[in-house]
Amino acid sequence: MLDTILITVLVMMSISLLVCFIRVVIGPTMPDRVVALDTFGINLIGFIALLMILQRTSAYAEIILVIGILAFVGSIALAKFLERGVVIDRDRNSH
Amino acid sequence: MTALHWATLSPFLLAILIPFLYKYVRKIHTGWFVLLLPITLFILFLQYLPTTSSGLVVMETIAWVPSLGINFTVYLDGLSLLFALLITGIGALVVLYSIYYLSNKTESLNNFYVYLLMFMGAMLGVVISDNLIVLYVFWELTSLASSLLISYWFHREKSTYGAQKSMLITVFGGFGMLGGFSLLYVMTNTFSIRGIIEQADVIAQNPLFIPAMLLVLLGAFTKSAQFPFHIWLPDAMEAPTPVSAYLHSATMVKAGIYLVARLTPVFGGVAEWFWIISAVGLFTLLWGSVSAVRQKDLKSILAFSTISQLGLIMCLLGLGSASLYSGFEGTETILFTTATLAAIFHLINHATFKGSLFMTVGIIDHETGTRDIRKLGGLMAIMPITFTISLVGLAAMAGLPPFNGFLSKEMFFTGLVNATQLDIFNMQTWGFIFPIVGWVASVFTFVYCLIMFFKTFFGKFKPENFDVKHVHEAPIGMLISPIILGSLVILIGFFPNLLTHSIIEPAISAILPDQRFYLDIYHWHGINTELLMTLGVIAFGTVIYLTAKKWMQLSIYLRERDPLNYMYDNGLIGLIKGSTKVTQMQMTGLLRDYFAYMLTFFILAIGYTFIRYEAFAIDTVNVAPISPFMWILVLIFIAATLSVPFIHHRISAVIVVGVIGFLIALFFAVFSAPDLVLTQLLVETVMVVLLLLAFYHLPELRKEKFTPRFNGVNLIISIGVGVLVTLTALSSFALSNQNGLQPISDFFLENAYKLAGGKNVVNVILVDFRGIDTLLEVLVLGIAALGVVTLIKLRMTGREDV
């Protein structure tokens, strides 16, 4: 019973990922894509948590935390690039 | 090391000393030191004369590469001794001549004598080696030394051209010969010529017999300037005259003759050997004598004359090989040994008169400054000694009595006439060609001898033609060598039997073993066909010379360069152009193209293997069930991958690649690989950041804007690679199901905790079971990091960079 529900939910999560992907592709603006990628990452957190329940394991606990950090870092990097054209400033004192 | 080994190597040892002698003993001409060696060697070899003439041989071996059957074996029989005496004897005379020909002050004698000694040693090595590989080594050394000597005046363009040409042609033949020797080794399992001759009947049945024969003949023909490989010899006349006299008339060009004579017991007695050698020789004889008539330069006449005489000897060797035909009875063979006798006899005679002729031409060149027959004339009274020597040499070359050339020409005609009586090898139908062509060639030989003689020494003396102010006879030192050779011409002419039993007989028994023959060379045979042929030659030759004014206007006479040279030159240019074109076609400098080549090759190689071994298989056993959500994930994955090439915006492409990376991580999670998920996510993020960093450095103009290029071929290649990799994966999965092998992972699962004390099997494998891999991958990362630092920091601006 639990497995059936889990798989149903996973299918729904997959559809959610698909929707995010479509947004990544069609845009229309660059921030739309960045936000879609960010959402894609956040969706993964849920997806992997459900997988943990399905596979009866706690091995992926770190992964959830890591995705949280990395999705943040990736989005910030993209955002900064879009805003300033650089990711890492040459000279910190000039701004 | 026996005396013979030392004798062969002594020229090389002396060559080492020459530069020191040249540098520190400037007062004395370096040639005097060199002269001692060939004289010593000549005397040494003379001492073996009683041994070989009583039918004995000397054979001494020292090991060189015994594991490959390569030993430095010297083998001295009649044939080797004849050549060794020629090499050292004429070598001594040439060195003596060169002492007066080359000035101590203006010429770099150290180079000259080092090359000459190198050549002498190599040539001795060729003729007294019994081992084919050792023979080949010395053979190539003669090619090398010859090229060095031809380009002795290397600042002249023609010298280097001639040297390159002779090098290319003779080394080409030498390589062929090496191939032939290798085939002989394959057939007989020995490199020893003696050993091969012992197995001669066996290898005649072998299918490799003909290829081996052709390859060996390629070497012999290129070296001995046989048609069509003769074109290097006229261009080799750019060498100093002593070199021309020594290498290009008396010794090196006879190396091919030696090889043919030496291997006659192996290959002789079959129709192919007989026909190739005699036909090529005959044609070379005709071609050389006709070309010689057209030349205007004395050395060129002599060069083509050498070609023609070498053809004559080669032809006679071919005819003589018929006596090895196994179907003969005792008396019949004697008929054909005459040809071999004529070949050997003419070989000696040619070395004597051609050597002296080259030397006289050198004297004329030296004293008048020109060798052009159109400028020369009237030298008889001015250079009486040179005139006399030339007269003797030319008369011998033309085949006039009482000189030695007459005897060998008579025997040559005898050999040709005998050949018509052969009833093997289709000689009944084609044999009549031999006497006719030989006779025509002799007429031309007579004509160019007349031209050389009359144009040089008769007519009006025209001092204004010469650069040298006061034309006079050569110094006596320069005349000694040609006088000795000229005397030999006369001596052999009057007393030919001096040589028959001591030298010629043992030489022939080396070429035609197990044959009985009786030799007696004498002048008067009575009135027979040969004598009439000689009279005809003289008559026709005189007529042609007297009508010279008419045919000298013909265009064929005015064009003196051999038509085959155009083929050689254009062939060489074409080769260079063609290879440049081929290189430019494939080496485009575009990585894209090289990548396409690699992948195409990959597709062809793997695809062919698949088809050849019918390797494709699909096995659905052991396939895991697919959850419904996986379908959707795979769909996204495929869509994301396919969309990448169509995205026209760099940042968007990076974001889509990020999606792909996230999805891969998710797949890892679905298939229970938590460590991989972690690593994949980290690497993915770093990649995105790095790509963004790289974009900042892209050129301003194309910033954030690019259009993927579409190319049909690339599409096909990429689809092909994808399909092949998929097929390979499916098939190998099927294989892993079928072979029933136990996977090694069971061991790791069992023992990770027991042996290594870790519960994370992946990490235990990485740092314990397979720690070396990890170590090296850490190294890879370190090198990459250093590389990045170097690329960014090191600008090579001249100041301190890093």
Q: What's the confidence (pLDDT) of residue B524?
A: 59
Q: State mean pLDDT over B207-233.
A: 91
B696 touches chain A (CB under 8 A): yes
* Residues of chain B positioned with their CB less than 8 A from the CB of A17: 632-633, 636, 663
Strands (DSSP E) contained in B639-750 are none
B334 inside 8 A of chain A by CB: no
Partners of residue A50 in chain B, C-beta under 8 Å: none
User: In chain A, which residues have pLDDT < 70?
Assistant: 85, 87, 90-95
> Does residue B402 have a cis peptide bond before it, meaning omega lies within 30 degrees of 0?
yes
Check residue B702 and give its pLDDT.
45
Q: What is the per-residue burial (b if ≥16 Cβ within 10 Å, else e) of B408-426?
A: bbbbbbbbbbbbeebeebe
Find, in chain A, the residue whose alpha carbon is nearest to that of B678.
Answer: A63
pTM of the model: 0.81
Amino acid at A71: A
pLDDT in tens, B21-43: 888 888 888 888 889 999 999 99
**Measured between alpha carbons, how far is B432 from B417 in angstroms, rounded to an integer?**
8
- Which pLDDT score is estimated for A95? 47
Q: Which residue of B has its CA nearest to A53?
A: B670
Q: How far apart are the C-alpha atoms of B208 and B191, rounded to whole Å?
A: 16
What does DSSP assign to residue B705? -
Give pLDDT, residue B796. 73
Asked whether the beta carbons of residue A81 and residue B670 sit closer than 8 angstroms, the reply is no
The 3-state DSSP class for residue B316 equals: helix
Q: Which of B646, B650, B644, B643 is nearest to B697 (CA)?
A: B650
Instruction: Look at residue B557 and tell me whether its pLDDT is greater than 50.
Output: yes
Kindly list the residues from chain A whose CB atom is less than 8 angstroms away from the CB atom of residue B655.
Answer: 24, 33-34, 36-37, 78
- Is B621 a residue whose pLDDT tops 50? yes
CB B188 within 8 A of CB B205: no
Q: Give alpha helix (H) positions in B399-432.
A: 404-420, 427-430
Block residue for tokens 């950041």:
B689
Please compute, for residue B42, the number of CA atoms within 13 A of its CA located in the half-sphere on the CB side.
Answer: 14
Write the DSSP assignment of B535-596 as a string of letters. Answer: HHHHHHHHHHHHTHHHHTTSHHHH--S-HHHHHHHHHHHHHHHHHHHHHHHH--S-HHHHHH
Whether residues B659 and A7 touch (CB distance < 8 A) is answered with no
Percent of chain B, pLDDT > 90? 30
> What length does chain B have?
802
Residue A91: its pLDDT value, please? 62
Mean pLDDT score across all residues of chain B: 85
More confident: B323 or B158: B158
Q: B678 Cβ partners below 8 Å, 6+ apart? A: A62, A63, A66
Q: Nearest-CA residue of chain B relative to A84?
A: B696
How far apart (Å, rounded) are the C-alpha atoms in residues B348 and B85? 10
> Which pLDDT score is estimated for B380?
82
Residues on chain A touching B672 (C-beta within 8 angstroms)? 55, 57, 59
- The answer to whether the CB atoms of A33 and B689 lie below 8 A apart is no
Interface of B with A in 609-668 (CB under 8 A): 627-629, 632-633, 635-636, 639-640, 643, 651-652, 655-656, 658-659, 662-663, 665-666
A87, closest residue in chain B (CA to CA): B693
> Which residues on chain A are in Cβ contact (under 8 Å) with B673?
none
